[in-house]
A and B are shown apart, each in its own frame.
Chain A
């Protein structure tokens, strides 16, 4: 279980522009982190996903993207787990 989770986290970190990855369980407890993702954020990330799912309770939990100046965080729920991918934003083309 842990080895599989580790391999998923490592594989995600290999992707382009990814600076951090976090996986949390349904109770907001961190299952694993890589890069700039901090395990202390797991509770809030799970909460964001839960709250967003309340907008349309009949549909699956939506993908939430938090954007800041340099980073974007994509939060998505798969079964009992919530994942967050931190990405460095590419400079906008003029």
Chain B
């Protein structure tokens, strides 16, 4: 991914309270970009199997006649995971239990500006 995109997502790690890591992956959970605050990646939220379950969950929840699913928030005892559906990309935010989830969700439109070109490339392939 371009330096501009990396820079943008790195700045999010600094800006959002409690955010530990950001992973951009494809629908199968294969990471395209992995960024973390301290160079370490939390076990749970970064495994390929975990990332790929989002694809199934978002496809299933889109069948509830409420329109296409946009995001899923997972709240665990000590971790919060926010996954955004930017088909064919999945953007996963992993943070602490007190992570500012609302701030992550409000970045939806801004993220679109940066990843738009990659969505087009992946769609073409």
Task: Enumerate chain A interface residues (CB-CB to B < 8 A).
Answer: 24, 26-30, 40-44, 46-47, 50-51
Judge whether B17 and A29 touch: CB under 8 Å: no
Residue B100, interface by CB 8 Å = yes
B103 part of interface (Cβ distance < 8 Å) = yes
Q: Can you add 9 more A-B contacts, CB < 8 Å, to A29-B105, A42-B102, A50-B100?
A: A24-B102, A27-B101, A27-B102, A28-B101, A28-B102, A41-B106, A46-B102, A47-B100, A50-B17
Contact A47 B103 (CB under 8 A): yes
Contacts of B104 in A (CB 8 A): 43
A30 to B102 Cα, complex, angstroms? 7
Chain A residues with CB under 8 A of B99: 27
The answer to whether B103 and A46 have CB atoms under 8 Å apart is: yes
**What size tier do the contact residues of chain B reach?**
10 to 19
Task: Determine whether the beta carbon of B98 is less than 8 Å from that of A44.
Answer: no
**Most chain-B CB neighbours within 10 Å: which of A24, A30, A40?**
A40
Would you mind naming 29 contact pairs between A and B with Cβ atoms under 8 Å apart? Answer: A24-B102, A26-B98, A27-B80, A27-B99, A27-B101, A27-B102, A28-B100, A28-B102, A28-B103, A29-B101, A29-B102, A29-B105, A30-B102, A40-B105, A41-B106, A42-B102, A43-B100, A43-B101, A43-B102, A43-B103, A43-B104, A43-B105, A43-B106, A44-B103, A46-B100, A46-B102, A47-B16, A47-B103, A50-B17
**B106:A42 contact, CB within 8 angstroms:** yes
Chain B, residue nearest A30 (CB): B102
User: Which chain B residue shows the least CB distance to A42?
Assistant: B102
Q: Which of B98, B99, B102, B104 has the most CB of A within 10 A?
A: B102
